[in-house]
Amino acid sequence: MTVTDDRPATGAPLTAADYIALDEQWSTHNYHPLPIVIADAEGAWVTDVAGRRYLDFLSGYSALNFGHRHPALVAAATEQLGRVTLTSRAFHHDQLGLFCRELAELTGTEMVLPMNSGAEAVESAIKVARKWAYRIKGVPEDTAEIVVAGSNFHGRTTTIVSFSTDDTARADFGPFTPGFRVVRYGDAQALAAAITERTATVLIEPIQGESGVVVPPLGYLRTVRRICDENNVLMIADEIQSGLARTGDLLALDHEGVRADLYTLGKALGGGIMPVSAVVGRADVLGVLRPGEHGSTFGGNPLACAVGRAVVRLLATGEFQERSRELGAHLHTRLRDLVGQGVAEVRGRGLWAGVEIAAGGPTGRQASEALAERGVLCKETHDTTLRVAPPLVISREELDAGIDAIAGVLAR
């Protein structure tokens, strides 16, 4: 047996090209990352293996709302690492109940189902909604339907890609899970028309992140709520990316004063430290689950709960919501000024924007690469949209520097 050193024969340290070659050879090619190799990070900044610093304008798709290694989050994780990290749910531990109570109180909900990844939270919400339909609503067994929106993104599991409208996400992964009806996002009439007496729930993103930070028409979400109420149908809001202060409120639905029956949360709930997700909502709905019907070895583990509790404490101050509101207003004012100068359209809310690149400009990929050369990390979604989502700890000066770089890259 040979043991491979992680350095080339010269003894020189690995370069960015070496690390990228390792990824290329040994990790599956299900991503197409920018050629940046990050070695450490703090706040709104990351540093690559050659020591070059970049402003993070992506925030791990909102998993890093509080920036990299927020001191309060690192302290909570470190403290918990010194006590107990995993028990399995075969036993109680002293973090679970407190985490669930604190998260429920923060979100104005009654019960919490802790999981790990976002996709798991969505899968869990689907199972809960189906069981609610059979046991409470009285839908005949195995006939429940779930209404979803076109251009959705809810994760990558087999069931979730079953109702994706993105060919790349679906092709070659069938056969698919039945029981989903897809209607056009933002079209309340189409949604109403898709509801039958077998409908268990509507599952919807209040703002579609992966689709390009698409904000539905004003009043749409309130109408969805009314349609659900009139038809005894649950409303599940997938706030995995839009929630937890990203849009300037705790939840994106708060902007329309709408309450969902269930919310899926993830990404920022783990504080950028580890995967933590949850379904939160009505006790009479989540209460349909009995022992043995659903679970996860890691869901609700002590370390996850300790980190989640620290995230809840940060959000309870309202500071991050306010930063997102104020800096977001500035971001959108400045980005809108670029319309006609290489930008076709700007969408979004709070410190979250989809920048539609004007025809004749660079592709989203080219723009992301050019931004990286200027020291700003951002990522395209689809061919022509730049997604801008800086950490909520970013300063106004840093934000302006990043926007200047975008203006420079897109200017025509």
Ligand X SMILES: *Cc1c(COP(=O)(O)O)cnc(C)c1O
- Active site positions, annotated: 153, 238, 267
Choice between 54 and 352, CB closer to ligand X: 352
∠ CA 151-152-153 to the nearest 5 degrees? 125
Asked whether the CA dihedral 364, 367, 369, 372 is positive or negative, the reply is negative
Between 93 and 267, CB nearer to ligand X: 267
Q: Which residue number has the CB closest to ligand X?
A: 118
Which is closer to ligand X, CB of 115 or CB of 312? 115
Smallest distance from ligand X to CB 15, Å: 30
* CA–CA separation, 278 and 255 (whole Å): 21
Residue 252, classed as helix, strand or coil, is helix
Nearest approach, Cβ of 338 to ligand X (angstroms)?
25
Whether residue 128 contacts residue 261, with contact meaning beta carbons closer than 8 Å, is answered with: no
Among positive and negative, which fits the CA dihedral 341, 345, 349, 352?
Answer: negative
The nearer residue to ligand X, 36 or 169, going by C-beta atoms, is: 169
Nearer to ligand X, 137 or 154 (CB): 154
Q: In this complex, which beta carbon is closest to ligand X, that of residue 131 or of residue 267?
A: 267
Structure tokens at 138: 């009285």
DSSP for 178-236, please give it.
Answer: --EEEE-TT-HHHHHHH--TTEEEEEE-SSBTTTTSBPPPTTHHHHHHHHHHHTT-EEE
Q: Give the shortest CB-371-to-ligand X separation in angstroms.
A: 21
For the bound state, the minimum distance from the C-beta of residue 157 to ligand X, rounded and expressed in Å, comes to 8
State whether residue 332 is helix, strand or coil: helix
Binding site for ligand X (CB under 6 A): 61, 117-119, 122, 153-155, 205, 209-210, 238, 240-241, 266-267
- Considering beta carbons, is residue 118 or 390 the nearer one to ligand X? 118
DSSP at 262 = E
Minimum distance of ligand X from residue 66's CB (angstroms): 17
Question: Rounded to the nearest 10 degrees, how much is the dihedral formed by the CA atoms of 69, 71, 74, 76?
Answer: -150
Structure tokens at 242: 């839009």
Return the DSSP state at 54.
E
Q: How far is the CB of 365 from ligand X (least distance, A)?
A: 20
CA distance 261 to 94: 28
Q: Distance (Å, rounded) from C-alpha 320 to C-alpha 106?
A: 14
Residue 210 Cβ vs ligand X, minimum distance, rounded to whole Å: 6
Least Å from the CB of residue 153 to ligand X: 5
Strands 353-357 and 262-265: unpaired
Query: In whole angstroms, what is the distance from residue 151 CA to residue 148 CA?
Result: 9
String of DSSP letters for 93-153: -TTHHHHHHHHHHHHT-SEEEEESSHHHHHHHHHHHHHHHIIIII-PPTT--EEEEETT--
Distance CA 51, CA 37 (A): 10
Length of the chain, in residues: 412
Q: Which is nearer to ligand X, 93 or 347 (CB)?
A: 347
Residue identified by tokens 């909604």 is 129
